[in-house]
């Protein structure tokens, strides 16, 4: 049931992933779920770049080097994390947004539609037993140096995916009543 999936969805970080590979058919199913996200005026702004194998290693090397280039006081632990996390994932997907050339909707609506596509991916991963995590490091503004983007396309983050043997913690939320005003 969808409500159960929504409540079970968790951020599962790369440090928790095991080495079990993710089948291409599962990645395709996850991407197909993304493709059914709602979007205004049918702009379908989500774009994805799937990284597996050597491309994950190249991304880690790029992020680590770029961080050392742009940060005046780089931290060794962050350098290591940027280098290793992409390789720990069973697959990594760059989350991108393609701006409608006609600008028929505000940009925030296309970003929101892309976020809804990622939520669909996250729920699909939950159903498939695949851990996942959306990371949006400040370095995403430099991803045009790594990827070939179309005019108006940009990176919004990375969707890490991997199987995990770690027991996920229970999560609570404050009551919805604290966040809703009913008006007659």
pLDDT at 170 over 90: no
- Band of residue 108 on the pLDDT scale cut at 50, 70, 90: very high
pLDDT at residue 86 above 90?
Answer: yes
pLDDT of residue 97: 98
Among residues 76, 106, 101, 95, the alpha carbon closest in space to that of 136 is found at 95
What torsion, rounded to 10 degrees, do the Cα atoms 53, 56, 61, 64 define?
-150
Return the percentage of the chain with pLDDT > 90, whole number: 97
Q: Can you give the pTM of this predicted structure?
A: 0.94
Q: Mind listing the pLDDT tens digit for each residue in 32-49? A: 999 999 999 999 999 999
**CA neighbor of 161 nearest in space, from 34, 65, 4:** 34
- pLDDT by residue (tens digit) across 125-151? 999 999 999 999 999 999 999 999 999
- Given a cut of 90, is residue 101 above it in pLDDT? yes
Rounded distance, CA 34 to CA 50, Å? 13
Domains of the chain: 2-166 (3.40.109.10)
Reply yes or no on whether the pLDDT at 1 is more than 90.
no
Report the chain's mean pLDDT, rounded to a whole number. 96
56 and 87 Cβ atoms separated by less than 8 Å: yes
* ∠ Cα 61 66 72 (to 5°): 135
Q: pLDDT-derived band of residue 169, with 50, 70 and 90 as boundaries? A: confident
**How far apart are the C-alpha atoms of 120 and 75, rounded to whole Å?**
34
pLDDT over 90 at 14, yes or no:
yes
Report the side by side order of strands in the sheet with 46-51: 46-51, 91-98, 153-162, 131-135
């Amino acid at each position: 049931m969808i409500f159960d999936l929504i409540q079970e969805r968790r951020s599962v970080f790369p440090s928790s992933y095991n080495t079990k590979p993710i089948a291409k058919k599962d990645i395709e199913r996850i991407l197909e779920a993304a493709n059914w996200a709602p979007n205004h005026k049918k702009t379908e702004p989500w774009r994805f770049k799937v990284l597996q194998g050597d491309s994950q290693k190249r991304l880690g090397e790029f992020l680590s080097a770029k961080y050392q280039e742009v940060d005046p006081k780089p931290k060794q632990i962050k350098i290591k994390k940027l280098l290793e996390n992409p390789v720990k994932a069973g697959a990594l997907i760059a989350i991108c947004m393609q701006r409608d050339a006609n600008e028929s909707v505000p940009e925030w609506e296309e970003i929101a539609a892309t976020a809804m596509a990622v939520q669909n991916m996250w729920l699909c991963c939950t159903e498939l037993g695949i851990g996942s995590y959306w990371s949006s490091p400040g370095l995403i503004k430099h991803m045009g140096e790594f990827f070939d983007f179309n005019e108006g396309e940009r990176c919004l983050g990375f969707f890490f995916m991997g199987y995990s043997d770690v027991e996920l913690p229970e999560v609570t939320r404050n009551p919805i009543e604290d966040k809703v005003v009913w008006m007659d």
